[in-house]
Structure 1
């Protein structure tokens, strides 16, 4: 797979000529690539799709940066970046400068991945069977939508902050970029336009992808698209739609909760391997040959351990809560054990999240789709080893969500959609709609594209 990924990166993204050795003077333009040479056959397009997955496997995407940097930005004194890298310190303190390297890396990699998916979609007719065409199109659209959903939440205002039809989101680029010229200097689309594209892609992906992927939890399937749709609708406050999407996945009975919460995150393997589990709807695959689990690098006591988990967080777990056992304290610092496996697959979507979404959306909407909110919350609590509730409230649901999904990249979205006020490390209150909780458009992008408008507070 690694060899394929390198080939794709060269063929689809890097600017270089593809001339033969006996035509050394016949040089193609260095800022373009001839797609008829890069993607000729059905196998080429399928290989290009693998390159799209490789892109979201990168540390700048779901290999760690998206989850960790959004959690640092949303932190309310529960975690502290204690490493020496300046960019994460800025993000943790909510005083980001325009040339923050991590902010730039997430943006650049996301658009790199988007361009890969656009290349696949532009060549979808080269797939040799209708089933392959539908599956590959669905998977490419899922990956593209995932990147746009992350981008609009990080670099734009929240859906509920003002008018999404006028608030600036991120540029929508839906065709391959093969030549770097004035047409590449795109403008930012509105938040509403980006969400509309994300939902359109995910809806089409869910319709086109099969119920089972060629490799379980590696390639996306229709339930992966439905899970992402549930997240998107939840962020918009479209509770009935979010609950319906979550219920479609749960009611398929394809996934089950692990008997133990710990088993979902720690394998005990001497080789540091954490495979996919029965609970995983979609996981980022990590091995010694492919990918890197940067969450392991930042969180684990066995690596750099740049994230210190504070008492304000650990004190929220009850004495019997198994989730509170996934911490180790050494030399005055507390580490999360959630990512201790060096080659542990990163659990991007798991069934517990959907029970929490269904519980919350049913409660808010006053409905009983699939199960009562109380039944869904108690299912999650019982697995964690804590007593079931007799009565459920919205704060209780949100608390279970926070503890169950801790350090998995959900806090920023939840802080904003639930309109919470947090505090920075200096004790200053930061409301959910503060400009400090929005990434700047990277200075590198502003410098090369005069059509990009910078976010408030970064001019």
Structure 2
């Protein structure tokens, strides 16, 4: 596992190394150029923004790690793990140490991207007037979703104890230019980090356009807010946000479930009609970070995750979603969602919005948009299942579990918000919270370590 420098040294370097590698934008790189020189024009601001996207797309961040790592912590009864990365094996065994390289990498990658987003926001007045709102909105979208993920992984769940006193991660909102005492920022509370993520995404809602190629859009910000509100237990805000995205009319469920995960001879495929925001993967940019662990060697992966029969037994006999779990040449069942090594990493899609609206409406006893049973039946119809006459909460949660399995770290995050046991551990176990990386503790005397580490 590659060793990384601390967040503070990296934040300084990214203030000087504002580079990007997006061939579609054909932007010139800078090499070791000071910040006062590197960000002078609107093009420079755009270069920095593309750099933030590239950091967001790292395999240890929203390019895969943000999803597979929480799932590994919560699927002991559903999968067999045959991976050889010991730091990931620690997650499966729920025995993470404070020097875990993947834990360190997630923290570092997030703050690198946040620092670049901060540089965009700090220099937004240099952007062309016609592009200013879009650039600022994209930077705040990136910063907002990263702070949300950091709070989920390095802090206790929002409903576990008191979020206004439980610690999450440092909030840094300005570029780090000099590594001195001012760079040693203490951890903010879970409440404060959630509020920062919500503020950034709410600002992004206002600033972003409705259409923006495969980059962040107004609806992408709204959809991420729906996810945050659900995790927070703010069901009124969750149902309103999900309903807004659904009613935008810009997205539609693909015809069959497997069509959402296209596998056309290992080439890049554009977003489907269902994708609200996805990390784009091409041969030039690398491989899908989820493909590495979920796909077998038949499909360019390591085949580390084997799906157990008891998980497949959760699907009804006619449920077409079970077809995504396929037997490979070695005779074991694996998740087929990520077989395309150049398949996009789906961050959020329309099916999740229907399920958020259904659950939030059910818990509120409201009918915003439509009754919960109608949203559930929409998802079931696409899966080839008969409609239900009525739904209970358990029905909604079952559809969510089977529809979104292995996609967003939901095995862990849903268990926590629903206060369900995670394997042999209670949802509130300290072992289900990442440690603050040891290198960060050593570099920053203001940081306090999580319990048990």
Deviation at 1:348, TM superposition (A): 1.0
How far is the alpha carbon of 1:321 from its aligned partner?
0.9
CA–CA separation in structure 1 for the residues paired with 2:389 and 2:13: 56
2:309 corresponds to: 311
Match of residue 81 from structure 1? 81
3-state SS in 2 of match to 1:430: coil
Distance in 2 separating the partners of 1:190 and 1:181: 23
| Pairing of 1:33-432 with structure 2 (within 5 A) | 34-129=34-129, 131-213=130-212, 215=213, 218-267=214-263, 269-301=264-296, 302=299, 303-330=301-328, 331-409=330-408, 410-423=410-423, 429-432=424-427
Q: CA deviation at 1:81?
A: 2.1
Please, which runs of 5 or more residues in structure 2 have no aligned partner?
1-9, 19-31
Q: Is the 8 A contact 1:63 1:291 kept in 2?
A: no
State whether residues 11 and 111 of structure 2, in contact with CA within 8 Å, keep that contact through their aligned partners in structure 1: no
Q: CA deviation at 1:16?
A: 6.2
Q: C-alpha displacement at 1:421, in angstroms?
A: 0.8
Q: TM-score, normalised by structure 2?
A: 0.91
Q: Secondary structure at the match of 2:119?
A: helix
Query: Quick one: structure 1 residues 11 and 238, their matched pair in 2 at CA, closer, same or farther if it must change by over 3 Å?
Result: closer
Separation in structure 2 between the aligned mates of residue 15 and residue 50 of structure 1, nearest angstrom: 14
Residue 328 of structure 1 aligns to a residue in which SS? Answer: strand
Range with bigger deviation, 235-244 or 406-415:
406-415
Deviation at 1:322, TM superposition (A): 1.1
Shift of 1:395: 0.6
Aligned CA RMSD, in angstroms, stands at 1.7
Could you say what secondary structure the match of 1:283 adopts?
A: strand
Corresponding residue of 1:454: 449
> CA–CA distance in 2 between the matches of 1:235 and 1:117?
24
Gaps of 5+ in 1: 1-9, 19-31, 424-428
CA distance in 1, matches of 2:152, 2:353: 20
Q: Deviations over 1:251-278 (max 9, x none)?
A: 01000000111000023x1243332111
Residues 135-155 of structure 1: CA deviation (Å, up to 9, x unaligned): 111110010011100001000
* 1:145-189 CA distance string (max 9 Å, x none): 111000010000011111111100100000000111111111000
Counterpart residue number, 2:437: 442
> Hey, what does 1:24 align to over in structure 2?
none
Deviation at 1:80, TM superposition (A): 2.8
For 1:284 and 1:318, locate their aligned partners in 2 and report how far apart those are by CA, in whole Å.
Answer: 31
The answer to which of 271-280 and 136-145 deviates more is 271-280
Q: Cα deviation per residue 1:291-343 (whole Å; 9 max; x = unaligned)?
A: 42111111112221111111121111112111100112244521111001110
User: What's the CA shift for 1:132?
Assistant: 1.3
1:17 & 1:403 partners in 2: Cα distance?
A: 43
In structure 1, the residue matched to 2:3 is none
Instruction: State TM-score, norm by structure 1.
Output: 0.90
Cα distance per residue 1:25-59 (max 9 Å; x no partner)? xxxxxxx9632201110111012111111111110
Is this contact kept in 2: 1:422–1:430, CA < 8 A? yes
- Partners of 1:327 and 1:128 lie apart in 2 by 48
Cα 1:16–1:136 shift into 2, 3 Å:
closer
